[in-house]
Amino acid sequence: DLLLNEVRPPRPVADGLQQIDRAGRRAAELTKQLLQFARREPQQEAVVDLVAVVSAGLRLMKPALKKSTQIVWNAPDVQLLVPMDGLHLDQILLNLLLNADLAMATGGTIELRIWEAGAGQSAAEGVICEGRSVVLTVTDQGCGMSEETLSRVFDPFFSTRGPAAGTGLGLSLVYGLMRQCGGQIHLSSVVDRGTTVTLVFPSAAESWLEVERVSSGGACMS
C-alpha cells in the first residue's frame, strides 16, 4: 500500500505490487480460517437475531460480489434468535455468498430466505428440524455440482478452483460452525441449474426468554 500510494511506480511495477498486496490479504484470510478451523474454538455464549445480522452482512458484502450478481432477500420482519456469535455468522454468510457468486460466471440471482420451522418439519429433502428452528437458505443460479463434488464439499482443502484460487476451507468451516451451534447444513445442486444451501439453526427464542426472566427476577422466584 505504502509503495503504491507514495512512490507511484510505473505500470508494470504497480501491477506486480497489486498482486503482492492481493496475495498477502488472501494469505492473511487463509491463516485466520485455518486457525479457527484447527482450534475449533468453543462456541461463545452468544445469541443473535439472524434476520438483522444477515441483512446487515448483505449490505456490507454486496460490493465484494460481481456487478452482474443480484440479491433477492426474503425474510420476515421479526427477530429470529439463533445461538451463534455474530462474527461467525458473518463468516458463514461471506463464504456462501462468494461460492454462489463464483458459481455464476455471467451473473444471476442469489436468493436468501429466512423462515421459522417447528419440530418435525422438513427444511429440505431429508432434513427434519429436531426442535423449533430458524432456517436460512441461499440459492444460486450457478454451474451446480456433480454428485462427486457434492459428496466431498465438506472435506477440508477440497476445492475445484485450483490452488491459486480456492483453499477448500470455506464449506468445512461453515459445517464446523453449524455443528457447534447444534444446527444442520444441507446442500442440493443440479449441474448447470444451481445450488441451494440450507442451514438449520436451533431457535434460541426460549433460552433468551429464560435469561430475561432470570435477570428480571420474575417467574423463577415463585
- Is 170 among the residues that bind Mg ion (CB under 5 A)? yes
Per the listing, cell 454462489 goes with 100
| Contact pattern from residue 115 through residue 144 relative to ligand ATP, giving x for each residue in contact according to CB under 6 A and a dash for the rest | -------------------------x-xxx
- Is 161 among the residues that bind ligand ATP (CB under 6 A)? yes
Which single residue brings its beta carbon nearest to ligand ATP?
A: 170
| Diameter of the chain measured on Cα atoms | 77
- Is 92 among the residues that bind ligand ATP (CB under 6 A)? no
State in angstroms the smallest separation of the CB of 138 from Mg ion.
12
Residue placing its CB nearer to ligand ATP in the complex, 170 or 176:
170
Distance CA 195, CA 121 (A): 21
Is the CB of residue 69 less than 8 Å from the CB of residue 111?
no
What's the per-residue H, E or C state across the chain? CHHHHHHCCCHHHHHHHHHHHHHHHHHHHHHHHHHHHHHCCCCCCCCEEHHHHHHHHHHHHHHHCCCCEEEEEECCCCCCEECCCHHHHHHHHHHHHHHHHHHCCCCEEEEEEEEEECCCCEEECCEECCCCEEEEEEEECCCCCCHHHHCCCCCCCCCCCCCCCCCCCHHHHHHHHHHHCCCEEEEEEECCCEEEEEEEEECCHHHHHHHHHHHCCCHHHC
- Is 99 among the residues that bind Mg ion (CB under 5 A)? yes
> How many residues lie near Mg ion (CB under 5 A)?
2
Q: According to CB under 6 A, which one of 69, 91, 95, 137 is a site residue for ligand ATP?
A: 95
Residue type, 141: Q
| Span of 1-9, 114-122, 128-136, 154-162 interacting with ligand ATP by CB under 6 A | 154-162
Residue placing its CB nearer to ligand ATP in the complex, 70 or 160:
160
State in angstroms the smallest separation of the CB of 76 from ligand ATP.
25
| Span of 7-15, 77-85, 121-129, 158-166 interacting with ligand ATP by CB under 6 A | 158-166
State in angstroms the smallest separation of the CB of 36 from ligand ATP.
12
Distance CA 187, CA 137 (A): 10
State in angstroms the smallest separation of the CB of 153 from ligand ATP.
4
Interface residues with Mg ion (CB under 5 A) are 99, 170
Interface residues with ligand ATP (CB under 6 A) are 95, 99-100, 103, 140, 142-145, 149, 153, 158-161, 166-172, 195
